[in-house]
Amino acid sequence: MARPRVFVSSTYYDLKHVRSALESFIESLGYEPILSEKGDIAFTPEVPLDESCYREVKNADILVLVVGGRYGSERSTAGKVPPKSFFERYESVTKLEYKSAVAQDIPIYVFVERQVYAEYQTYLRNKGRTDITYAHVDSANVFVLIEEILAQPRNNPVREFDRYEDIEIWLREQWAGLFRELLHRATASKQIATLQSQVSGVAEVANTLRVYLEEVVQKVAPAQGSKLVSDETARLEEALRQSKLLANRFVQWCTDLLEIPPEDVVHALVAATAFADLGEKLAGRLKGPEREHMLRNVVPQNTAAFRDANAARRQLGRPEFEDKPLGDQLELREARPERPARSRK
């Protein structure tokens, strides 16, 4: 049976203990870990070693990227070049592995050492300056990589870590949630197919009833016939619109999974002025821990929810939301008091 293939990308010497622990964890889940130092990559003699890594990323199902204080060696196509200065830009093997995963649009999970991320905040406040010494990274390109990851509109969850255990706990939760979402989608697809069939049937019934109604009313009460036909036609069209709205995947998700009454979902869709505001309005109709999860992690950051919510807005005669999903981004923390920077050896 085919197993999910998880590519672990990072520099080696400073993070080899993390890579080894990740390998054991991935195997314990029944997945297939891919690490270059373990012989999991098929290297071919006609291409450089790092090119084989980029190719292997394209065959993976998930990428786990761990960012520490080292940026890594330059890609092979650069040839033999002298060592780079701290602020000189170049593409490392690790960065290009990440970019290969982005190009394939496979799920990506990024972990950044906490002390490195703290210095990244200092870097952001001092961009363009080359007279600052950073204590925890060997190249400013580490900060450039983090900045590029956070700038992605989606598929860029970033997590700080102090210990390897922080990585394992978060990956276990994320992959369990991903599996649950896949199960829900499979169930929802069957329900949608059934509802679409029912909606088509309702449309046919509505058309037939309208024809019968016009014929009968014109003969029985010709004076009031036109108004009665018009009123009943409007009522049938409203019923059809409601049926289509209930078949919308976003509305279904809110009503079935979160157990929000359909009228409350419709009210939130109509009242929200922006997509980012929709999660707040829906969360206000929940009780318990679902509120925080809904507000922070589901609606504002979900591209599929954005698409389906806009489809529902169109059915309700409302303009589409113009803002975009936030994407899974690292929450910015309050700036901590900076320690005196040490000289970089």
pLDDT digits 0-9 by tens, 94-122: 999 999 999 999 999 999 999 999 999 99
Maximum mean pLDDT: which of 13-17, 77-81, 261-265, 276-280: 13-17
Query: HEC profile for 161-181?
Result: ECCHHHHHHHHHHHHHHHHHH
When pLDDT is cut at 50, 70 and 90, the band that residue 337 belongs to is very low
Q: Are 53 and 27 in contact (CB under 8 A)?
A: no
Task: Report how far residue 285's alpha carbon sits from residue 258's, in angstroms, rounded to the nearest whole number.
Answer: 10
Per-residue b/e over 188-215, b at no fewer than 16 CB within 10 Å? eeeeeeebeeebeebeeebeeeeeebbe
Percent share of the chain, pLDDT over 70:
70
pLDDT at 327: 52
Q: Are 73 and 92 in contact (CB under 8 A)?
A: yes
Spell out the residues 6+ positions from residue 104 whose beta carbon is closer than 8 angstroms to its own. 57, 58
Task: Report how far residue 309's alpha carbon sits from residue 268's, in angstroms, rounded to the nearest whole number.
Answer: 10
**Which ranges in the chain are annotated with CATH 3.40.50.450?**
5-162
Mean pLDDT of 322-335: 51
Mean pLDDT of 64-76: 91
When pLDDT is cut at 50, 70 and 90, the band that residue 10 belongs to is very high
Question: From the CB of residue 50, how many other CB atoms can be counted at a distance below 10 Å?
Answer: 21
In this model, does residue 329 exceed pLDDT 50?
no
Q: Backbone phi, then psi, for 232, in 5-degree steps? A: -70, -35
pTM of the model: 0.57
Percent share of the chain, pLDDT over 90:
35
Task: Report how far residue 298's alpha carbon sits from residue 275's, in angstroms, rounded to the nearest whole number.
Answer: 12
pLDDT at 165: 95
When pLDDT is cut at 50, 70 and 90, the band that residue 20 belongs to is very high
Comparison of pLDDT for 324 and 321, the residue scoring more: 321
What tens digit of pLDDT does each residue of 236-254 get?
667 777 778 888 888 888 8
When pLDDT is cut at 50, 70 and 90, the band that residue 256 belongs to is confident
Task: Report how far residue 208's alpha carbon sits from residue 186's, in angstroms, rounded to the nearest whole number.
Answer: 34
What tens digit of pLDDT does each residue of 40-51 get?
666 665 566 778
Task: Report how far residue 221's alpha carbon sits from residue 23's, in angstroms, rounded to the nearest whole number.
Answer: 80
> First and final CA of the chain: distance in angstroms?
50
When pLDDT is cut at 50, 70 and 90, the band that residue 260 belongs to is confident
**What are 310's two structure tokens?**
């806009």
Please list the residues that pair with 109 across neighbouring strands.
64
CATH topology of domain 5-162: Rossmann fold (3.40.50)
pLDDT at 251: 87
